[in-house]
Amino acid sequence: AQSVTQLGSHVSVSEGALVLLRCNYSSSVPPYLFWYVQYPNQGLQLLLKYTTGATLVKGINGFEAEFKKSETSFHLTKPSAHMSDAAEYFCAVNEGLLIFGKGTTLSVSS
Amino acid sequence: EAGVAQSPRYKIIEKRQSVAFWCNPISGHATLYWYQQILGQGPKLLIQFQNNGVVDDSQLPKDRFSAERLKGVDSTLKIQPAKLEDSAVYLCASSSPTGGATYEQYFGPGTRLTVT
């Protein structure tokens, strides 16, 4: 059965610092992988997705993620954090149904 | 293009009462999903519709939850009777029929339900 593990329920960074949010998945077939962001009292917004092809995927707001099959990972990064990046981030895998991780709350301090 | 609409945004009820949530998907999106998001967890799929037919409802607690999508557009999710553990955000999402598992799902703002 597919599953998603997000390491660290809460990540804190300073403005301008590197953002790294970790995601590992289990899947019996090549997965489709997603990162969503959720701002307070809002629905989920797609940041980026991996389906096939290039393993480094670029998304909105300067985020990117790299699919590493050997490590079963799909970590999310952003070179320089901004205050507006503070939100909850969810990694998800899709094998017909979308399965979400428990989420990581990102805090950004000035 | 208008996004996924949901109402109400907030609802407070007592246990054993009933409640209904409404969702209007993006125009032309054939697939509609209802998710339950409990505080501190990721969304969990409750039910998926393709047009007005149910594709998957394996995680829907059918003794108290029901959902319908008449005419293949709007959908209603009902809980009767509610329990304390039903307190959560209920998210509706929709997706376009073109594509496979790569469908991008578009989410509504959610309905926050508090059961007291």
Q: In a 3-state reduction of DSSP, which class is residue B85?
A: helix
What are A39-61's pLDDT values in tens digits? 988 889 999 999 888 889 999 99
Contacts of A97 in chain B (CB under 8 A): 45, 48, 56
Contacts of A101 in chain B (CB under 8 A): 42
Q: How far apart are CA B80 and CA A35, in angstroms?
A: 33
Beta-bridge partners for A104: A89
Q: Within an 8 Å CB–CB cutoff, is residue A94 touching chain B?
A: yes
pLDDT of B100 reads 56
Task: Give the pLDDT band of residue A31 (cuts 50, 70, 90).
Answer: confident
Task: Give the pLDDT band of residue B83 (cuts 50, 70, 90).
Answer: very high
Q: Which amino acid is at A53?
A: G
- Kindly tell me if the per-residue pLDDT of B97 is higher than 70: no
Which residues of A, range 50-89, sit inside 8 Å of B by Cβ?
51
Q: Within an 8 Å CB–CB cutoff, is residue B44 touching chain A?
A: yes
pLDDT of B102 reads 61
- Kindly tell me if the per-residue pLDDT of B103 is higher than 80: no
Least confident of A95-104, B19-28, B35-44, B62-71: A95-104
pLDDT of B101 reads 56
Q: Closest Cα of chain B to A2: distance in Å? A: 13
Closest-CA residue in chain B for A35? B104
Closest-CA residue in chain A for B100? A96
Q: How far apart are CA A55 and CA A66, in angstroms?
A: 5
Residue with the larger pLDDT of the pair B51 and B19: B19
What are A68-91's pLDDT values in tens digits? 999 999 999 999 999 999 999 999
Choose among A93, A46, A49, A38: nearest CA to B105. Answer: A46
Contact B69, B49 (CB under 8 A): yes
Which residues of B, range 57-86, sit inside 8 Å of A by Cβ?
none
Q: Within an 8 Å CB–CB cutoff, is residue A90 touching chain B?
A: yes
Put simply, the answer to whether A94 touches B4 (Cβ < 8 Å) is no
HEC string of chain A equals CCEEEEECCEEEEECCCCEEEEEEEECCCCCEEEEEEECCCCCEEEEEEECCCCCEEECHHHCEEEEECCCCEEEEEECCCCHHHCEEEEEEEECCCEEECCCEEEEEEC
Contacts of A67 in chain B (CB under 8 A): none
Q: Which amino acid is at B104?
A: E
